[in-house]
Amino acid sequence: MPAIALNHYNLRAPRALLLQLKEFYCEVIGLEAGARPPFDSFGFWLYAGGQAVLHLSEARAGDVRHTGTATTFDHVAFSCVDPEEMEACLQAHALPYQVAFVPSAQQKQIFLRDPAGNGVELNFLHIS
């Protein structure tokens, strides 16, 4: 019974940071806030292509998240379109980023960090 796809990932943070994350992933990355079941906690579900790919959940009192070297998480990657528009958006938001190319896949990659410091990779296919 193998896994067949990635369903979503979840970021849990205090409310103030959660709001910053929502703004970043919607305004910069281009996800859309959408329907979320009526959980008893505060949060958001963010969608890409009709799929809820990112769940943002408010941390509860005493809920501690490890940062720095205590985790093996490096980044999440999104498939994207229009790299020029994305770079203009990143520049308009004064967000630092790095660009890489994968010639064998004709792919451009943009790497940056979200407001919590999580790595984000943006992949653009068929770049000549």
Which domains, from first to last, does the chain contain? 9-60+74-125 (3.10.180.10)
Distance CA 64, CA 61 (A): 9
pLDDT computed for residue 127 by the predictor: 65
Query: pTM of the entire structure?
Result: 0.90
Q: What is the largest CA-CA distance in the chain?
A: 50
Task: Give, in order, the Cα–Cα distances in Å from 82 to each of 87, 96, 122.
Answer: 9, 18, 11
Q: What is the mean pLDDT of each run of 10 residues along the chain (128 residues)?
A: 89 94 97 96 96 94 68 89 95 97 92 95 83
Give the tokens for residue 59: 């941390």
Which amino acid is residue 111, in one-letter code? F
Which helix (H) or strand (E) is 99 found in, with range?
strand 98-102
Distance CA 95, CA 89 (A): 9
Give the tokens for residue 78: 């999104």
Distance CA 101, CA 124 (A): 10
pLDDT computed for residue 95 by the predictor: 97
DSSP class of 106: T
